[in-house]
Structure 1
């Protein structure tokens, strides 16, 4: 799979099917190796003699002066360490300099990440990727693949910059705070081939003297009081018994520390483990930051850090009122308590042993075969009275046995209990993880809710794991809404199962089904990535009632869960107008006035054979082609004229939709040479356009371009000023899609 945003071609990136994207630069020969992960091919370097060997990309890629770029690759070499560099070139293709990564700490035949980032210097016009190793003899072999060159990768929604999240450029975004020094190192770490957010270089915190040590991010991203945030990073402890931690801190505008919430890593070893911590920003919060450290460290011990993130805390189920700390148990048991019985509560250990969301779960233990009740904190539910809510949680019986009764306990604004809505009591299912649910209607005056579980251990020394706890208002599973101003039907699907496969059809009154378009093309057996999905169908017909039919399956051979929406219809409005739409860029769609009704022809490819002494020819014909003709339309303002140019610029297949009753169905068209004519005086803004069109098939693989969760926070984090935004992007559409100049 191609690396998103890569300036390199797919062949250069994956070294498949050949090495045409690469050239030997120094002391080596190159050939195609095998055993890669991004396709089987690898770039195989064989040294000619002792000394450094280098290979580079065959092409140079345009860069923008002052912009930071990142290069990474996966490397494998049993004999010598490797490094990677960005080679900056002038407009005359002369080398300016090379920004090198550190060399990996030792050689390793296991695939591991190497990475570097740097800022394009003042005279740079282009860049190349260079890979390097320094053997002590000839015929030493190193392999490289999965190569990237582009803007630095960062987690979408991260309040921290790419240089604070990763350590590929320098340690300038971090500072030693207590009893330590910090530096960059390049250990051999094997990340999944399609995980691009962790690089080849990490932050190394070295303890100065026996005792506690800490470092922190120097950036101060803005935070909002009352919002729950999550902070996390990868931690590699010096020993499995070391107490390392990540801490989320909130400060006032005067730089006064308000709160510091810490989560200790329960490490099963000395690898890299993503440890999360979450907290709600208190009143007067102005900004947040992230700190890491080790408790009771030993002098010269080294802990390593990578992938630092501060973001708005995730919601496990869309609309859930349970805060992340109380739902996922990544730091501790949060607001959960035992209200009766002998049960005890703890966070599971070690990291990764139990968990549905994250790396930990709530552990309920009972030494005796008796009943206990546990309860969460209270969570604001708004004006909940009379509304239906759903409770969902995951359980895993890891020892003994249990019976479980699930409740939602309701409270008024004064924290008075209003009683319970309860499920029946039942034996906890085994083995492995099970999802348990309960639905109930909030009573009068209810504004808060808590989760309560009545648990009875059926044997001594019983243990139950609980994770991913959620309460949300039970809204319709499928919902439609028509927006006549944009000619778009919005389809909302709720309570989807992650990892299942989704297919969505639009159904007309005659029963005809058409697959609906999503981000990756027509939605057919698409893997579900979130519990709620909003689909904007810009290809729905005008003036015709349609419904949406959905199938959800665990796999293609399974019996599907089905959903059918209510009917919905788009109002075509003034019949003198039609819509021109780009299926892949619906933001460019426009409603446009027709100048005259189109006339159509249907050409056919024919071969004529004249037979001697026969009156009639023999004609051999192919099937008759689709409609061809000219759409004559008006643009009435300069804004409309520019919008039509923008719509036509890509040369993509368009959808033409006219109001019913015009004797022509919706039609996918290819537009030829567009002619723009004036109406009269030069100052008249009206234009008459002649658009020669040919009917074509509906594009199947074209997906709807989107930002996939990109927000203004990402723009704010990535750019210090609006001038910087203007220097990176040509249009607001490019800002939305994160399509930088030259990318």
Structure 2
């Protein structure tokens, strides 16, 4: 699969099926190697003699002045380390300079990431990607593949810029705070082939003298009081016994520190481990920042950092009232306590040993075979009275045995307990992780809730892990709503299981099923990425009832769970109007006034043979084609005219929908040379359009263009001024889709 946003062709990126995207630049020959990860092919450089060898992309790629660019690749070389560069070219295709990455600290035949970023110098027109190694002899081989060129990769929703999240360009967005220095290093790190956010260079914090050391991000992204945020980054401790940490800090507008929430890494080794910390921004919060450090470090020790993120805390289950800190236990046990019995509570250790979400879980230990009760803190549940709520948690018995009874304890606004809604008591299932649920109705006056568990150890020295605790209002599993103004049906699916497979059909009254379109094309055995899906079906027919039938399965061929929605009907409105829709760009859909009912022809390919001495010819025919004709429509304003031009610009297959009674079904069409006619006064905005159309099949692979959770915060983080936004994007649609000029 192509790397998202890559300016390079797939052949150049993967070196499959050949090396046509590359040229030898210096002291080497190139050929197609084998053993790659994003396809078998690799770019194989073999040195001609001792000294630096280089290869570059065959093509040059246009750049935008002032825009930062990033290049990365995966590299493998058992003899010498590698580096990667951005070669800036002027309009005469002459080299201005090359921005180089650091060379990898050690040579390694294991695939590892190399990366660089930089801004074009004055006079730059284009850029090339260059890869390099410096052997001490001829016939030394290095391999490269999985190559990217484009704007710097960053985590969607990150309040920090790409240069703070990674340090491919410089360390300007980080500063030493206490007893340390900071610099860039390029250790040999083997990231997954499809993890594109990690780079080849990391931030290195070097302890100056024995004692605590810390560094922090210099950026101050805005934060909102009351919102729960998560900070995270990859930490590599100097030793497995080192105490390294990440800290989320909130400040006032006057730069006064309000809170600092720290989360220590329980490292199983000296690799790279993502450590998370979350906290709610207190009152008067104006901005947040992230810090990292080491406790009781030794002089000259080095901890390494990559992938710094500050973002809204993750939602494990849409609508859950349990904050992330109390649901996932990434820092500690949060607000959980033992209210009776001998059970002790602790965060699991080490990193990654027991977890459903993140890298840790809550560990409940009982030295004796007795009952204990544990309880979370109280959390606001809104006007909960009379509403049904669902509790869900994951458990894993790792020693002994347990029986579990699940409760939701309800409270009024004055923190008075209103009692429990409880499940029956049952043995905790084994082995491995299991999901347990309980549903209950909130009593009168309920505005707060807590999770309470009665746990009975059935053997001495029993241990239980708990993770991903959630409580949410139990809304319908499937809902539909029609919007007549946009001719769109919104389908909401709740309580989905991430990782399962989803298929969605639209069903008409005669039982005909049609797959519904999603971001990757028609939704058929699509891997579920979130527990709630909101699907906007812009291709639903007008004026006829439809339902939606959904299947959810854990694997291909497995018996699915089925859901069926209520019926919904879109009002077609004025029969004189029809809809023209772009399945891949529904934001361009528009209603147009029909000038006249279309007349249709159905062409056929035929071969005629005239037989001597016979009156009638022999005709051989192919099947008759679909409808062809001319749609004649009006635009009544300059805005409508511009909208129709925008709809037609892409040349994509469109959907034509007219109200029932016109004698024509919904039809996917390809539009030829569109004619825009103007008659009457010069100032009259009305136009008559002649649209020659051919009926075509429903497009299967076209996906609905989306922004992948992109928000205005991302635009704010990535651009210092509106002028910068205007220089990077041609239209507001491009801003929404993050489709930069030249990308």
TM-score if structure 2 supplies the norm length?
Answer: 1.00
Contact 1:66 / 1:122 at 8 angstroms: preserved in 2? Answer: no
Find the counterpart in structure 2 of residue 553 from structure 1.
553
What is the correspondence of 1:267-278 to structure 2 with a 5 Å cutoff?
A: 267-278=267-278
Q: Aligned residue for 2:318? A: 318
Cα deviation for residue 14 of structure 1 reads: 0.2
Kindly state the Cα deviation for residue 615 of structure 1 after the two structures are TM-superposed. Answer: 1.2
Runs of 4+ with >2 A deviation: none
Q: What's 1:647 paired with?
A: 647
1:501 aligned residue: 501
Q: Show the counterpart of 2:342.
A: 342
Hey, what does 1:709 align to over in structure 2? 709
Structure 1-normalised TM-score? 1.00
Alignment of 1:233-244 (within 5 A): 233-244=233-244
Aligned to 1:37: 37
SS where residue 734 of structure 2 aligns? Answer: helix
Give 1:620's aligned residue. 620
Equivalent position of 1:444 in the other structure? 444
- TM-fit CA distance, 1:315: 1.0
1:474 aligns with 2:474: yes
Match of 2:648, SS state, is: helix
Q: CA contact under 8 A between 1:82 and 1:103: conserved in structure 2?
A: yes
Work out whether 1:281 is the aligned partner of 2:281: yes
Q: Deviations over 1:278-304 (max 9, x none)?
A: 000000000000000000000000000
Q: Cα offset for 1:91?
A: 1.3
CA deviation map 1:694-714 (0-9, x unaligned): 000000000000001000100
Q: Which residue of 2 aligns with 1:80?
A: 80
1:265 Cα offset (Å): 0.1
Cα drift, residue 461 of structure 1: 0.3
Partner SS, residue 643 of structure 1? helix
Taking the TM superposition and a 5 Å limit, the aligned residue runs for 1:3-18 are 3-18=3-18
Distance 2:679 2:408 in 1: 69
Following TM superposition, by how much is the alpha carbon of 1:92 offset from its aligned partner in structure 2, in angstroms? 1.2
- Determine the C-alpha separation between the residues in 1 that align with 2:75 and 2:309: 26
* 1:663 matched residue in structure 2: 663
CA offset digits 1:673-700 (Å, max 9, x no partner)? 0000013111110000000000000000
Distance between the aligned counterparts of 1:283 and 1:552, measured in 2?
A: 43
Task: Give the match for residue 406 of structure 1.
Answer: 406
Measured on the aligned residues, the alpha-carbon RMSD in Å equals 0.4
CA–CA distance in structure 1, aligned partners of residues 406 and 360 of structure 2: 21
For 1:509-520, list aligned pairs within 5 A.
509-520=509-520
CA distance in 2 between partners of 1:556 and 1:43 (Å) = 36
Q: Aligned partners of 2:120 and 2:469: how far apart in 1?
A: 47
Q: Does structure 1 residue 258 correspond to structure 2 residue 255?
A: no
Q: Per the alignment, in what secondary structure is the counterpart of residue 460 of structure 1?
A: coil
Output the CA distance in 2 between the equivalents of 1:657 and 1:411: 53
Residue aligning to 1:391: 391
CA distance in 2, matches of 1:121, 1:57: 19
- Corresponding residue number in structure 2 for 1:486: 486
State whether structure 2 residue 412 is matched by structure 1 residue 377.
no
Distance 1:479 1:358 in 2: 31
Q: After superposition, what is the alpha-carbon deviation per residue over 1:74-111, rounded to whole angstroms, capped at 9, x for unaligned?
A: 00000001000000111111111100000000100000
Asked if the contact 1:517/1:703 (under 8 Å) is kept, the reply is yes
Please list, as runs of the form range in 1=range in 2, the aligned pairs for 1:224-239 lying within 5 A after superposition. 224-239=224-239
Deviations 1:315-363 (A, max 9, x none): 1000000000000000000000000000000000000000000000000
Q: Secondary structure at the match of 2:595?
A: strand
CA distance in structure 2 between the aligned counterparts of 1:710 and 1:412, rounded to whole angstroms = 38
How many angstroms does 1:551 deviate by?
0.5
CA–CA distance in 2 between the matches of 1:556 and 1:241?
44
Provide the secondary structure at the position in 2 that maps to 1:569.
Answer: coil
1:47-69 deviation per Cα after TM superposition (whole angstroms, max 9, x unaligned): 00000000000000110011000
Name the CA distance, whole Å, in 2 between partners of 1:320 and 1:286. Answer: 26
Instruction: Name the SS of the counterpart of 1:188 in structure 2.
Output: coil
Counterpart-to-counterpart distance in 1, 2:348 and 2:90:
56
Task: Give the aligned partner of residue 170 of structure 2.
Answer: 170
Residue 233 (structure 1) shift: 0.2
Counterparts in 2 of 1:605-616, with a 5 A limit?
A: 605-616=605-616
Q: Any idea what SS the aligned residue of 1:639 has?
A: helix
- What is the rounded CA distance, in whole Å, between the counterparts of 1:447 and 1:54 in structure 2? 66
> Are 1:157 and 2:157 counterparts?
yes
1:610 deviation in Å?
1.1
Instruction: Measure, in 2, the Cα distance between the counterparts of 1:220 and 1:736.
Output: 24
Offset at residue 139 of structure 1 (A) = 0.0
SS at 2:118 equivalent:
strand
Residues 227-262 of structure 1: CA distance to partner in whole angstroms, max 9, x if unpaired? Answer: 000000000000000000000000000000000000
Distance in 2 separating the partners of 1:180 and 1:399: 43
Structure 2 CA distance for aligned equivalents of residues 64 and 94 of structure 1: 17
SS at the partner of 1:275?
A: strand
Using the alignment, how far apart are the partners of 1:538 and 1:106 within structure 2?
54
Shift of 1:122: 1.9
String of CA shifts for 1:414-440, please: whole Å, max 9, x gaps: 000000000000000000000000000
Q: Tell me the distance in 2 between the aligned counterparts of 1:536 and 1:454.
A: 43
SS at match of 1:708: coil
Cα separation, 2, equivalents of 1:497 and 1:106: 42
Q: For residue 459 of structure 1, what is the aligned residue in structure 2?
A: 459
> What is the distance in 2 between the residues matched to 1:712 and 1:484?
28
Structure 1: how far apart are the matches of 2:675 and 2:192? Answer: 51
Structure 2: gaps (5+ residues)? none
User: Can you give the 5+ residue segments of structure 1 that lack an aligned partner in the other structure?
Assistant: none
Q: Partners of 2:309 and 2:96 in 1: how far apart?
A: 34
1:435-478 residue CA offsets vs partner (Å, 9 max, x unmatched):
00000000000000000000000000000000000000000000
> What CA distance in whole angstroms lies between the structure 1 residues aligned with 2:494 and 2:253?
40
Matched, 1:568 2:568: yes
| Aligned counterparts of 2:438 and 2:91: Cα–Cα separation in 1 | 66
Conservation of the 8 A alpha-carbon contact between 1:75 and 1:143: yes
Counterpart secondary structure, 1:394: strand
Report the counterpart of residue 421 of structure 1 in structure 2.
Answer: 421
How far apart, CA to CA, are the structure 2 residues paired with 1:195 and 1:649? Answer: 35
Task: Work out whether residues 237 and 302 of structure 1, in 8 Å CA contact, stay in contact via their aligned partners in 2.
Answer: yes
Partner secondary structure for residue 169 of structure 2: coil
State the match for 1:62 in structure 2.
62
The alignment partner of 1:596 has SS state of coil
